[in-house]
């Protein structure tokens, strides 16, 4: 049975989810506080980058199944997909979730379903959302159903994973879970696993914390390898041939709205019982510092005074424009702290949003002493070292993402170094 939906939050998760429901027959009213984003969406223009989103947005709007607004509206189902960031003190900021829930209260009627998709600390549904929804005067669990169904997608593959990935649904009671499952079955082909709301919250945080801890392990291996003259990338690749080993890859840090944030939810809840989690977070948070130190070290080793650095890649992940918690931005701050001059370039970010950013690759390279790859965009993997060397003042390259064939760059006369591989020095 087709439903009317009100989706609060039209960002990297809310907008793709909205159009997905819309093109599968549900009437969707999207809500966002960003005036420009709402206007662009209604004009079938994108304010975020995601593969396959443009054509699906056009289909949904042209069919009259999706519209964006600054205010909520009555619906059968309310989906909340707003940010859940951390504060400076590493505690969860649930203001967006709370305010979004408050915003829908005047529109919630008997028989409605409210779904939280945002990744949140365990017990957010029970302790934050339910008390707010009780302001409707309706019996929560009998008149209004509430559940948590956390998004489990990765930028760049959102639509593929919305369909194919298994989904977790946790209701405050069985009926809430069943109704949520029936709704997502309109497009989800993966298995839908039912549980309670708090377990669903915990499961999503566990997923992202596992990856953060694994990446921290990889980064420690990279740091050790740099000290003892080993190629950590090759060693990790070989270790992963073992059927019970799956080590992630090192890099200049961890970014994104989930992996760099969610582990702190567990650390906040039980600080004395989350030592490995906190150590992993600190290890990954220190990688931008290490990266900046390596840039300074490499230029000094080549007797380059007052170096100019060309930083390639500002998004936290390849082939997208998402800069949330991007380690590249933290590397920039470290270079500023050290007084090192730089230019920044990212072909996926069309507006200048970072320090000394340019939309021209040639301008970024002009007079540069060292090229630093911070994001492994496909465009960077095919860079021609013969062309690049004609643009730079000195021929030095530092690849933090294993995006380049360093032998090719060495043949072109570059001094080439890979993070976690001192053999390339």
Mind telling me the catalytic residues? 204, 258
Instruction: List alpha helices for 134-255, DSSP H.
Output: 158-164, 174-184, 197-228, 232-239
Structural tokens at position 146: 């509430």
CA 170 → CA 78, 116, 122, 189, 197, distances in Å? 15, 10, 11, 18, 4
Instruction: List alpha helices for 271-396, DSSP H.
Output: 275-301, 327-338, 361-365, 378-381, 385-389
Residue 394 and residue 308: Cα distance in Å, rounded? 10
Sign (positive or negative) of CA dihedral 62, 64, 66, 71: positive
Strands 341-345 and 370-373: unpaired
Element (H, E) at 95: helix 95-104
> For residues 395 and 333, is the Cβ–Cβ distance under 8 A?
no
> For residues 252 and 331, is the Cβ–Cβ distance under 8 A?
yes
Residue 326 and residue 333: Cα distance in Å, rounded? 12
Task: Name the residue among 152, 150, 148 with its Cα closest to residue 161.
Answer: 152
DSSP 3: -
Task: Name the residue among 64, 85, 102 with its Cα closest to residue 11.
Answer: 85
Residue 18 and residue 29: Cα distance in Å, rounded? 8
Cα angle 252-287-262, degrees, rounded to a multiple of 5: 90
Residue 3 and residue 309: Cα distance in Å, rounded? 53
> For residues 284 and 260, is the Cβ–Cβ distance under 8 A?
yes
Residue 277 and residue 292: Cα distance in Å, rounded? 24
Cα angle 166-132-1, degrees, rounded to a multiple of 5: 45
Neighbours of 113 (CB within 10 A): 23
């Amino acid at each position: 049975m087709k439903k009317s939906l009100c989706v609060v939050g039209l960002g990297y998760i809310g907008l793709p989810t909205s159009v997905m429901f819309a093109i599968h027959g549900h009437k969707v009213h999207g809500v966002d506080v960003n005036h420009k984003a709402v206007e662009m969406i209604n004009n079938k223009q994108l304010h975020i980058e995601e593969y396959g989103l443009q054509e699906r947005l056009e289909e949904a709007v042209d069919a009259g199944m999706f519209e964006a607004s600054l205010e909520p509206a009555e619906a059968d189902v309310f989906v909340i997909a707003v940010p859940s960031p951390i504060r400076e003190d590493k505690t969860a900021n649930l203001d967006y979730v709370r305010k979004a829930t408050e915003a829908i209260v005047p529109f919630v009627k008997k028989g409605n379903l409210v779904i939280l998709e945002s990744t949140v600390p365990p017990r957010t549904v029970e302790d934050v959302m339910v008390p707010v929804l009780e302001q409707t005067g309706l019996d929560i669990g009998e008149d209004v159903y509430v559940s948590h169904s956390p998004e489990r997608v990765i930028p760049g593959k959102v639509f593929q994973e919305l369909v194919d990935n298994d989904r977790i649904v946790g209701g405050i009671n069985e009926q809430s879970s069943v109704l949520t499952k029936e709704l997502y079955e309109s497009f989800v082909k993966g298995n839908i696993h039912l549980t309670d709301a708090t377990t669903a919250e915990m499961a999503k945080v566990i997923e992202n914390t596992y990856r953060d801890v694994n990446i921290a392990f990889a980064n420690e291996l990279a740091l050790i390898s740099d000290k003892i003259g080993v190629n950590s990338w090759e060693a990790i690749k070989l270790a992963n041939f073992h059927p019970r080993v799956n080590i992630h890859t090192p890099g200049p840090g961890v970014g994104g709205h989930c992996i760099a944030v969610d582990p702190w939810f567990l650390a906040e809840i039980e600080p004395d019982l989350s030592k490995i989690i906190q150590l992993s977070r600190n290890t990954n948070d220190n990688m931008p510092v290490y990266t900046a130190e390596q840039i300074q070290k490499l230029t000094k080793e080549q007797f380059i005074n007052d170096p100019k650095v060309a930083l390639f890649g500002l998004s936290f992940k390849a082939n997208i424009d998402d800069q949330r918690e991007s380690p590249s931005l933290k590397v920039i701050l470290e270079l500023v702290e050290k007084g090192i001059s730089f230019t920044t370039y990212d072909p996926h970010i069309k507006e200048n949003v970072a320090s000394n950013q340019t939309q021209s690759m040639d301008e970024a390279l002009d007079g540069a002493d060292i090229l630093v790859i911070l994001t492994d965009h496909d465009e960077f993997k095919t860079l021609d070292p013969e062309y690049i060397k004609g643009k730079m003042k000195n021929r030095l390259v530092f690849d933090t993402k294993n995006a380049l064939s360093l032998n090719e760059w060495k043949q072109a006369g570059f001094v080439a170094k890979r993070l976690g591989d001192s053999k390339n020095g």
